[in-house]
Amino acid sequence: MINYTSRIIAGLICTTLSLVISASGTFAQNDPLPSWNDGPVKQKIIRFVTSAVSPGEGYVKEPERIAMFDNDGTLWCEQPTVEAEFAKSRLMGKAKTDAALRETIARVSAAMKNGKSADVQRDILSLLAASHSGLSEEEFADAVRVWLSTARHPKSGRPFTEMHYQPMQELLTYLRENKFQIFLCSGGTLEFMRVFAPALYRIPRQNIIGSSINLETRYNNNGETDVYRKPGIARINDKDGKPVGIELHLGIRPAFVGGNVRSGGDIAMMRYSQGRPSASLQILVNHDDAEREFAYAEKDNFSLNAATKYGFTVISMKRDWKQIFPK
């Protein structure tokens, strides 16, 4: 808590200073991204959006103003992965009488602690399937809602829904004001994200693309119809699954993509975005701020190498963000 509080205070000081600075700076009057430090990254984003809405080179027609954002590590904190925490809490009961389940949980927990969640991606999703099936979609959503209302981030002690990035919230608003439609495109499962994303990011349920477990229409004795969650994963919306998920949902190559460094999960949709016939921008959040958030990297440097090769814009949380979390 002390660590975290000091981070918040540091953030506050930075913000205050930056307000003073920006009063005489480039974005004095109407800075759309006040929590971003002035510099090449911020300028590149603003230049892209300004061009997108102005006739001429870089113009993006309104129906093509599709912005696709990853969630974990891009819009909110992924240390620990929130949906895995939810799964663990739901699995506690079941695990008491299920040794295989206990082993899988142990494996995932260990990987999480070592920041190697990518190595157990399938384990994570099998846990989600095991913990989240055997009930209707609405019952599941209720369970998520109840859990989110009491669960707390292990380090900050704040609700997980407060662990989102203030600069990214400003970016969402900025894009929205310029008539971009914002979509979530995450490895998280659909019904989990639908519980918090509409209120947290102002992203409606119909703009959420995610992993899905097997679903089935069922009729109960009262003649009522439910969509029931069966064990088993239907589709994983990660890596090469992301362009497929976008294609299944709307089939428009996004003009703007936001992702992050951790497991290479967002590179495929960034390259897919670059296949647009006209302008596009891809931004990649790099978690390099151990002081205010977390610092972690990929062993093989896959995402940062791809950024260099394909010209994605890398955001250094340390350098580019004045403030990380909301106050």
Provide the binding-site residues for its own copies, judged by CB under 8 A.
63, 137, 141, 181, 190-191, 194, 198, 204-207, 212, 215-217, 219, 223-227, 234, 240-244, 247-252, 268, 271-272, 274-275, 310
184 or 324: whose CB is closer to its own copies? 184
Comparison of 97 and 217: residue with beta carbon closer to its own copies: 217
User: Which C-beta is closer to its own copies: that of 162 or that of 226?
Assistant: 226
Taking the complex as a whole, how short is the minimal distance between the CB of residue 178 and its own copies, in angstroms? 18
CB 53 within 8 A of CB 178: yes
In the complex with its own copies, the residue whose CB is nearer, 179 or 205, is 205
Query: Whole-number minimum distance, CB 76 to its own copies, in Å?
Result: 20
Q: For residues 188 and 317, what is the distance between their CA atoms, to the nearest angstrom? A: 23
Say whether the peptide bond before residue 204 is cis (omega within 30 degrees of 0): no
Residue 125 C-beta: closest distance to its own copies, Å:
16
Please state the closest distance from residue 269 (CB atom) to its own copies, in A.
9
CB of 235 to its own copies, least distance (A): 9
Question: Residue 314 CB: number of other CB atoms within 10 A?
Answer: 18
Are 260 and 287 a contacting pair, CB within 8 Å? yes
Smallest gap from Cβ 215 to its own copies, in A, equals: 5
Query: Between residues 204 and 326, which has the closer beta carbon with respect to its own copies?
Result: 204
- Nearer residue to its own copies within complex by CB, 28 or 234: 234
Q: How many CB atoms lie within 10 A of CB 199?
A: 9
